[in-house]
Amino acid sequence: MDALIIAAGYGSRLAELSPSKPLTPVCGVPLIEIGIRQAQAAGVTRVVVATGHKADALEAFLADLAARIGIAIVTARLADWSTPNGFSVMAGAALIDGDYLLMMADHMFEAAILRRLLHEGDATRGVTLAIDRAIDNPLVDPDDATWVKLAPDGRITAIGKTIAAYDAVDCGAFLATPELSAAIAGAIADGKSGSLSDGMQRLADQGRAATMDVGTGWWMDVDDPRAHALAEALAPQHLPETFGIARAG
């Protein structure tokens, strides 16, 4: 299966540490490399990366990484990387046939989470989102998190950063079908900004947005210096094979 990783934005909250968020190192390993290695360990065989800010440096790094770890990596460069993240989804998904694993460049996951997610699809779902019901997770920044309200069957009823009531946090990994890109385009046609959450809400309104609870699986969003410090302290022990192989290579 293919993966699509969103890596086009500026990453202003990490700018004091690195000019490129995807290339920000955690214990010496760039975030984008961690994500790609984890996706590869889960069974992904080809990765599409949506690029934009500092695209030349990122694309050069990805070309070298593809040769080093033996995985196909292609890029979809956005002409305007200041647009909402749904535009990155649409650009990347245009290079993919069928379903795909969707990830954010600044998120890290145990491969077991991604491996489970790859097998969650069925005909009743337009998208499946990995969620964490531990809304008090100390690794989650409540001011930046995307929250999810669930129906009793685990389907999404509402999603966004400012929803009033919620049951879980969006982990930033999705098993997407072509319906997701179409839903984002439909939301834009209806006057929405074009965020990924706009497309997710559209699918939720159609009863097509399902979830997978990560349970005790480890993940985190590395979005600011505080989270980066936590990642450097925690990631090597939770992702030991990835950090061991990356350092050896």
Q: What confidence category does residue 247 fall into, taking pLDDT thresholds of 50, 70 and 90?
A: low
Report how many helices (DSSP H) and strands (DSSP E) the chain contains, helices first: 8, 13
- Residue 198, SS3? helix
Residue 243 has pLDDT above 90, yes or no: no
Distances (CA, A) of 213 to 135, 170, 199: 12, 10, 20
3-state helix vs strand vs coil in the chain, percent to 5: 35, 25, 40
Return the closest-CA partner of residue 58 out of 6, 118, 98.
6
Task: Give 237's pLDDT tier (boundaries 50, 70, 90).
Answer: very high
Q: Is the pLDDT of residue 153 over 70?
A: yes
- Closest alpha carbon to 48 in 27, 29, 72, 65: 72
List the domain boundaries for the chain: 2-128+171-192+217-248
For residues 221-235, average pLDDT: 95
3-class SS of residue 178? helix
Question: Which pLDDT score is estimated for 249?
Answer: 55
Higher-confidence position of 143 and 184: 184
User: How many whole angstroms separate alpha carbon 52 and alpha carbon 7?
Assistant: 7
Q: CA 201 to CA 218: how far, in whole Å?
A: 26
Distance CA 109, CA 107 (A): 7
Pairing outcome for strands 100-104 and 168-176: antiparallel
pTM of the model: 0.96
Region 2-128+171-192+217-248: CATH code: 3.90.550.10
User: What residues contact residue 197 under an 8 Å CB cut-off, 6+ apart?
Assistant: 146, 159, 160, 161
The pLDDT of residue 55 is above 90: yes
pLDDT of res. 13: 85
